[in-house]
Each structure stands twice: as structure tokens, then as C-alpha cells.
Amino acid sequence: MEGVLRSWAIPKGPSMIPDERRLAIEVEDHPLEYIDFEGIIPRGMYGAGAVVIWDAGTYELVTEERDKIEFILNGQKLRGRFDMIRYKSRGVENQWLLIKQKDRYASRHWKLETCLTKTKLSKLEERIPPCTFG
């Protein structure tokens, strides 16, 4: 989107269950060079800590308005149609609700799984991100 990786932090992780609303906090966009970055960002640097790719794939933007984004994910884990609706709260602009739409990929039995296991963490190397942004 617009030549950058638009980014949101989702504290409880995404869901494939349509009835669940997940808080998504819009964070700083990342340069496209970050698309396959994994490693441990050193202490003292912005974003310090472990960075892993949780899912990979493509997306199709359906509509983008000021307070609503509709899109289709074609990932390995997340698939189908999603909405993001801006959460309106006294001047806070960066909070959204991520909502899975009812489609053939929705699943009431879906469970979020972490990919930052002890084994994965032990294989990560300390790395400086490919570039800084802003």
C-alpha cells in the first residue's frame, strides 16, 4: 500500500472467527525491504527484540476509506475477507478493530499459534534491520 508495508500491532493476535473483534494499533509503516526480515534487533534500537515472519502471502485491497479498510488476504495462515474499522475514542486515531468476515475461510475452531518458539528463537541472529525509515 503506497510503496510501504502498512503496519499494525495486534496485541491478542488476529482471528479467523467472525464474531471476534481484535484491537489493531496502527504503528509506523515499514520500508518494503522489511518484507522478509527476521532476526533480533539489538537493544537500544527502535523495535528491539525478536522479529519473525508469522504469515506470508498477498492481499487484495477492496476499499480504503478514512475509517474503514476492506481487504482479502491470501496468506498461508490468514485467508479470506477482513475489515478494519477505526475505533473512535477521544482523539485517538491509530486504533482499529480487525474483523474477519464470514466466508469459506472463517472457522469457529481456529486457534492462534505462535511461531516464536524456543527453537526458532535459538536460530535467530542479532541483526540490524535493512534500513531505517523516516
The answer to whether residue 37 sits within a structural domain is yes
Place of cell 525478536: 50
Which set of grid coordinates corresponds to residue 3?
A: 510503496
Given this model, what pLDDT does residue 67 score?
A: 93
Residue 130 is assigned to a structural domain of this protein: no
DSSP symbols for 8-29: EE-TT---S-TT-EEEEEEEEE
- Residue 74 located in a structural domain: yes
| Closest CA relative to residue 14, chosen from 49, 51, 54, 48 | 54
Is there a domain that residue 108 lies in? yes
Residue 78: inside a domain? yes
Domain for residue 131, yes or no?
no
- pLDDT per residue as tens, the chain (134 positions): 678 888 888 989 999 999 899 999 998 888 888 888 888 988 988 878 888 888 999 999 999 999 999 999 999 999 999 999 998 877 788 999 999 999 999 999 999 888 888 888 888 888 887 765 44
Structural domain harbouring 104: 4-123
Residue 100 lies in a domain: yes
Number of domains in the chain: 1
- This prediction's pTM: 0.82
Contact 80, 10 (CB under 8 A): no
Q: If phi over 0 gives left and psi between -120 and 50 gives alpha, with beta otherwise, what is residue 92? A: beta
Q: Retrieve residue 40's grid coordinates.
A: 533480533
Residue 133, domain member (yes or no)? no
The reported pLDDT for the residue numbered 131 is 65
